[in-house]
Structure 1
Amino acid sequence: MRDGTGWLTKPLMFVSSYAPLFIMLAIRFEDVWLRAGCALAAAVGLIALPTVMRLQEVGSPTEHSVTDVEPAGSGASSYLAGYLLPFLTVSSPTAADLIAYGVFLVVAFLVHMRTELIQVNPTLFLYGWRIFSITDANGLQTHLICKERILTGDRVMAYRMTDDVLVATTSR
């Protein structure tokens, strides 16, 4: 994670990926402070994503000739299991409930930081981004975040977001 937002990239992408979850929790909770906290977390996530994407445009993009491309949604079903949380919560949680929710978020954060889950981010899709798993002509296997469909044979100009994720600027 050399470029853009550096070491903040994955934490900010984590917060952005759970923005829809925090919106659902804000709707579900009755306590005004819990609603406000969840609404604030959602707002931070919704603002963080376009900010992170814009800050990736540091330095010069590199060209990648795509030799293999697949949709990168294979982890989506297991990731979205975390979105069951609002439906399993109570509207007036106890302190123990809140601690349990916090433990869930800490575990989800740690998993996000140590895996390639950055490519499964519902907020990216809400903003119109697509995510592909690609291999380029140099043998680089990575995830590519882009606004348009990528096909084998396309040439893509992209910035490096993390060690295993690129953000496209243009293709063809």
Structure 2
Amino acid sequence: MSTRALLFLSSYSPLFLILSMRGWRDSRYLAVGLGIIALLSISGLVLFLRLARKLQASRLFVASVKSRDGDVMSYIVTYLLPFLAIKMNDKMDVASLGLLLSVVGVLYVNSNLIHTNPILSIMGYHLFEIEDSDRKTSTLICKRSYIRTGSELSAVSVGDYVLMEKS
């Protein structure tokens, strides 16, 4: 599974849990399935972050930096979807929601939308878009809330254009 796909699934785990709770009376099998997907995606993210800390880091010079923490709030709008009278026992509602989540998933994975992961925020991570001295733009996942332009940091590559600071 790609880094972006894991980040997408984990970013939607709160939605899956909400759908699971809302659909418990209508379809227990679907509710349990969504709950399992949510728990597995969060567990996968935690394991991924632990393994990433063990990778060999390299030094990089931050030529420019932009905080992306604020992007999470715009993402929250998608969490309103389950409250739009979706019934878990209505196959058309479930299918249309599945189609919508599939389209959003493809857009998320193929675009640079990893800035929008509330689970990373809950876990205390901050997201930055940085440009290094080679003019390569990447997303940096780190625990610090501020990075200064011109600073040097130690980071590991955890995916295409995705870095994690090693502290």
Within the alignment, does 1:160 sit opposite 2:154 as a pair? no
Partner of residue 23, structure 1: 17
CA contact (8 A) 1:58 1:159 kept: no
Matched residue count: 164
Q: What SS is found at the alignment partner of 1:112?
A: helix
Normalised TM-score (structure 2): 0.87
Q: Check the 8 A contact 2:62/2:132 in 1, yes or no.
A: yes
Structure 2: state its 5+ residue gaps.
none
2:33: which partner in 1? 37
**1:104 to 2:74 alignment:** no
Indicate the larger mover: 151-160 or 51-60: 51-60
The aligned residue for residue 3 of structure 1 is: none
Cα distance in 2 for residues equivalent to 1:130 and 1:106: 26
Match of 1:55 in 2: 51
1:68-79 matches, cutoff 5 A? 68-73=64-69, 75-79=71-75
Alpha-carbon separation, structure 2, partners of 1:163 and 1:18: 21
1:4 is matched with which residue? none
The verdict on how the C-alpha distance between 1:92 and 1:139 changes in structure 2, with shifts beyond 3 A counting, is closer
Indicate yes or no: 2:82 matched with 1:86: yes
Percent of residue pairs identical: 31
TM-score (norm 1): 0.85
Query: Quick check: 82-91 or 10-19, which moved more?
Result: 82-91
Separation in 1 of the partners of 2:116 and 2:161? 13
1:103: how far off?
Answer: 0.3
- Taking a change above 3 Å as real, the CA distance of residues 69 and 82 of structure 1, as seen in their structure-2 partners, is same
Once the two structures are TM-superposed, the CA of residue 43 in structure 1 deviates from its matched residue by 0.3
- In structure 1, the partner of 2:114 is 118
Q: CA deviation at 1:89?
A: 3.6
d(CA) in 2 for partners of 1:124 and 1:18?
11
- How well do the aligned residues superpose, as a CA RMSD in angstroms? 1.9
**What is the 5 A alignment of 1:122-141?**
122-141=118-137
Inter-partner Cα distance in structure 2 for 1:41 and 1:13: 13
Q: How many Å apart are 1:144 and its aligned residue?
A: 0.5
Q: Secondary structure at the match of 1:142?
A: strand
